[in-house]
Chains A and B, each alone.
Chain A
Amino acid sequence: MEQIEPAEIEALLIEQAAKGDAQSFARLYDLNVDRVYRHIFYRVSDIGVAEDLTQEVFLKGWQALHRYKRTGSPFVAWLLTIAHNLVIDHYRARKRETSLEASILPSDSATTPQQIAEVRWEQRELERAIMQLRPEQQLVIVLRFIDGFEYSEIAALLRKSEGAVRVIQHRALKELRRILGKEIG
């Protein structure tokens, strides 16, 4: 029997959902909720906020589904741009740049308490610095390094050339260097 590719299934679900089929959208929710939640949690580090924003992403996704065009970017990447905007709104509403007090677990490579503490500190510093980038730079860095998307996928999503995405990445890393240098200095 011919196997249907996951991408084809997703495309069919999107098509059905865009016609108003709520159950198809619920299947899209099942397929993507973990990644959306993970992306948001990375940026807000608060379970309650991450849960609230995740719900909102899918509701907004449903309301704006007619705007989603298959430009070569995965559906989840589109959802993550909605998440990105909601995270920015969240911080703007809270009038502070970031809250990363809740724990991000250490990387697997750290084994001793001291190593764990060092890795946590470094990651937190980096996360704080990422949150200070301009919104578009933040999005490119998070999509590329945290969510693991290809340049072509990010480019399709942002409607820019791949070259432009690499330019944004380059500038973002330079800005991170400046922020981290300033904080350490």
Chain B
Amino acid sequence: MATKKEEILAQCIADVKAERASVEDCLAKYPRLRKELEPLLKIALAIEPPPEVSPSPTFKARARARLLAQIHAQRPVTKGRRLRYISWTPRERRFSMVAIVIAIIVALAAIGGGTVYASQDALPGDVLYPVKTTIEDARLFFAFSDEAKAGTYLAIAGTRLDELSRLPGERSRFVERLMERYRYNLERGLDFAEQRIEQGGNASGLLARFQERLAHHQEVLQTVYEQVPEEAQPAIEHAINVSGQGLERANRLRARAHLENAAQRLARVSEMAQAGRMDEVIELLGEYDEDLASFVEAASETGDVELLLELACERLDLVFVDVLAIVPDEARSAIEDAQAKTMKGFDEATEAVDRGQDLKDAWQEFEVEWEEFMPQWEGEMEPGSEKWQDAWQEFKTERGHSQLVPTPPIP
């Protein structure tokens, strides 16, 4: 929930735009806020929509035709994601769910368990290879959660690499297709991991597995690159790039997963505070600290550190705004403490990264400094005591912290 001045600003903008009031009317209504409101109001009112700009009819028609052509060429994975590409060839054929199930049942009945087992070592070009890929489709079909799907796609991507490493030289014509299937399965796996994060699930463990496997894939591909004939090397190079990009994406997603864990933890802090369960509030805030440290560690492994810090700052700041709007007074100080630490920490971490310092090191240094200044909730100082307030003031003065939390914490 916004504080009063943010609501007032929004209301003034709406009133002036709707010509229900003039700027002067609004300022006269809130004389104490005049100094802050006036420039913000003027800027807001100066932002004008551009004059009507329309795309040319030729562009619209051309783009429409191209869109339809692309849709037909690349049918999407539709709602519910139950339709699967089950052919292993690049020209993917779609089967309906029913067709997949029937195909699997018929296939299993016809070939028997021994054949299924024997097919596990099959390579492209072997008679049993289609059996192997059909079994994989069955595994995907019966993987119901996003996490299970992500894990299954990752495993299948690994299988394609394993096949590549065992592929005899005379079958090098399959290299490119295997690499294409590797890319496809890897990306689909990461799509499902991302979807799990977006839907509020905990994906940090899953993404740690992606990181570990992708690091292994890079090693395997490097070895294979040195063994394959020259004409197959470009495909392997491409796969090394794909794997590297996948690893970078997994790193970013893992950082996001930790960030979401932190945000959800804060939401639970709010629930516990409202229920008056202060012990659990303190415990959750401790876990929140660990989430932050995990986020920082994961973010430091990406090439997008600053962007992730910015994202985290905005995401968590808004959660704090909502949490602080409803928590009872007895929990307010502890939560403001966590808010101040988060915001100050991210600010300092960003500056440290700008200076070229390692993010993890910078965060650890900040934590040490914070601990030196800040009273501990379960420590010697009584929250709200004179000593405690002095510590706050000292920290704010020495660290330029006063802009982060406008009012001292209320114990």
Residues of A near any B CB (own CB < 8 A): 18-20, 22, 25-26, 29-30, 33-34, 37-38, 41-42, 50-51, 54-55, 58-59, 62-63, 65-67, 104-108, 122-123, 126, 130, 134-136, 141, 145-148, 151, 160-164, 166-170, 173-174, 176-177, 180
| Assembly CA distance A66 to B75 (angstroms) | 13
| Assembly CA distance A136 to B52 (angstroms) | 25
A–B Cβ pairs within 8 angstroms, 30 of them? A25-B71, A26-B64, A33-B55, A37-B54, A37-B55, A41-B53, A42-B50, A51-B63, A54-B55, A62-B67, A65-B78, A66-B79, A66-B80, A67-B195, A105-B50, A106-B51, A108-B51, A126-B46, A130-B47, A136-B314, A145-B48, A146-B49, A146-B50, A148-B49, A161-B1, A164-B318, A166-B9, A167-B6, A169-B6, A170-B5
Return chain B residues, CB-CB under 8 Å to A67.
Answer: 195, 198
Q: A161-B322, A163-B321, A169-B9 are in contact. List 4 more A-B contacts (CB 8 A).
A: A26-B67, A33-B60, A122-B46, A163-B1
Can you name the residue of chain B whose Cβ is closest to the Cβ of A43? Answer: B50
B355 at the interface (CB under 8 A from A): no
| Assembly CA distance A164 to B50 (angstroms) | 26
Q: Which one of B36-44, B171-179, B339-347 is at the interface?
A: B36-44
Contact across chains for B50 and A173 when beta carbons are under 8 A apart: no
Contact across chains for B78 and A66 when beta carbons are under 8 A apart: yes
| Assembly CA distance A173 to B46 (angstroms) | 11
Can you name the residue of chain A whose Cβ is closest to the Cβ of B199? Answer: A67
Known: A54-B55, A146-B47, A166-B7. A177 touches B314 (CB 8 A): no
| Assembly CA distance A104 to B47 (angstroms) | 13
A contact patch SS: helix
Return chain B residues, CB-CB under 8 Å to A169.
Answer: 6, 9-10
| Assembly CA distance A51 to B54 (angstroms) | 11
Q: Which of A18, A145, A174 contacts B40 (CB 8 A)?
A: A174
Residues of B near any A CB (own CB < 8 A): 1-3, 5-7, 9-10, 39-40, 43-44, 46-55, 59-60, 63-64, 66-68, 70-72, 75-81, 195, 198, 310, 314, 318, 321-322, 325
Return chain A residues, CB-CB under 8 Å to B78.
Answer: 18-20, 65-66
Q: Which of A51, A136, A177 contacts B43 (CB 8 A)?
A: A177
Can you name the residue of chain B whose Cβ is closest to the Cβ of A181? Answer: B39
> Separation in Å of the B197 CB from the closest CB of chain A?
12
Q: Which of A19, A62, A141 contacts B47 (CB 8 A)?
A: A141
Return chain A residues, CB-CB under 8 Å to B7.
Answer: 163, 166
Contact across chains for B59 and A51 when beta carbons are under 8 A apart: yes
Can you name the residue of chain A whose Cβ is closest to the Cβ of B318? Answer: A164
Contact across chains for A105 and B68 when beta carbons are under 8 A apart: no
Return chain A residues, CB-CB under 8 Å to B70.
Answer: 59
> Separation in Å of the A141 CB from the closest CB of chain B?
7
Contact across chains for B79 and A123 when beta carbons are under 8 A apart: no
| Assembly CA distance A44 to B63 (angstroms) | 19
Can you name the residue of chain A whose Cβ is closest to the Cβ of B198? Answer: A67
Q: Which of B2, B66, B198 contacts A170 (CB 8 A)?
A: B2
Return chain A residues, CB-CB under 8 Å to B3.
Answer: 167
Known: A20-B76, A51-B55, A146-B47. A170 touches B63 (CB 8 A): no
> Separation in Å of the B89 CB from the closest CB of chain A?
21
Return chain B residues, CB-CB under 8 Å to A42.
Answer: 49-50, 53
Return chain A residues, CB-CB under 8 Å to B75.
Answer: 20
> Separation in Å of the B342 CB from the closest CB of chain A?
16
Q: Which of A38, A63, A164 contacts B321 (CB 8 A)?
A: A164
> Separation in Å of the B132 CB from the closest CB of chain A?
29
Contact across chains for B67 and A29 when beta carbons are under 8 A apart: yes
Can you name the residue of chain A whose Cβ is closest to the Cβ of B315? Answer: A136
> Separation in Å of the A54 CB from the closest CB of chain B?
7
Closest 9 CB pairs of A and B: A163-B1, A163-B2, A166-B2, A145-B47, A170-B6, A37-B55, A66-B79, A173-B40, A22-B71
